[in-house]
Amino acid sequence: MTTPGRPDIIRIVLADDHLVVRAGLKALLASCKDIEIVGEAGTGREALALVERLKPHVAVLDLDMPQMDGLAATKELVALKSPCKVLILTMHTEDEYLVTLLEAGASGYLAKNAADRELADAIRALAAGDSYVQPTAARALARAVSKRSEHSDERELYRTLSDREKDVLVHVAEGFSASEIGEKLFISPKTVETYKQRINEKLQLSHRSDYVQFCLRLGLLQAQ
């Protein structure tokens, strides 16, 4: 029975730089009468070209590929306003990957070791307009999102900084002097001090210790 909102035949592009992996994924989908592989790619750039030319419903992209990885390809498809949904396949299961990929515009995320059980269901979910995160990763995703939301106000303030102000913020937190920062950014120490003044006003910071704590809370520095 056809699911409302889902095409009768789901056209997909499959991208992975390992031929053996692609063959395995094709074998998994061979018995699915409602899924058709219309194109294969070995790099992110090739996948992007195929999506633009073939207009599939879903692109199944490996995260780690040469010439544009799955994350970069996803961002590019979003920028191009492609209606194609992206399912990322990866060996990684870390929380941060989940959040980063979904924020970039991917509609689903699936660890390769679960593909034999869940790949077809994930593709069908995306084609129907839903998102897909494998059940074993749902709790990790919730933790990661919760962790990020703890400092959402500070993240909003951080976004008000210019790129140069962000650079100065991190360098100050790392302990570099105005002269050293100036050398790194090819600006004068006086200009560095001007940027610091703007940062202090925007973020309500006063001392280097404030810079350090702010950057640590937002994950801009690694704790020493």
Question: At 19, which helix (H) or strand (E)?
Answer: helix 19-29
In a domain, 79, yes or no: yes
In a domain, 76, yes or no: yes
Same domain, 40 and 102: yes
Same domain, 96 and 160: no
In a domain, 224, yes or no: no
Global pTM value: 0.62
What domain range includes position 167? 152-217
Instruction: Enumerate residues 6+ apart whose C-beta is below 8 A from 46.
Output: 15, 67
pLDDT at 179 over 90: yes
Same domain, 140 and 191: no
Average pLDDT over residues 207-219: 84
Highest mean pLDDT among 58-62, 65-69, 87-91, 155-159: 58-62
pLDDT at 95 over 60: no
The full 3-state SS of 118-149, as one line of letters, equals: HHHHHHHHHHCCCCEECHHHHHHHHHHHHHHH
Lookup: tokens for 17: 């730089």
Nearest Cα neighbor of 97 from 65, 71, 59, 130 is: 71
CATH code for the domain in which residue 129 is found: 3.40.50.2300
Residue type, 17: D
- What is the rounded distance in angstroms from the CA atom of residue 3 to the CA atom of residue 7? 8
pLDDT at 161 over 90: yes
Same domain, 89 and 141: yes
Same domain, 97 and 161: no
Q: Which domain-ending residue is among 94, 115, 147?
A: 147
| Tally of structural domains, the chain | 2
SS3 state at 42: coil
The dihedral formed by the CA atoms of 193, 194, 197 and 203, expressed in degrees to the nearest 10: -110
Same domain, 77 and 181: no
Same domain, 139 and 67: yes
Same domain, 72 and 141: yes
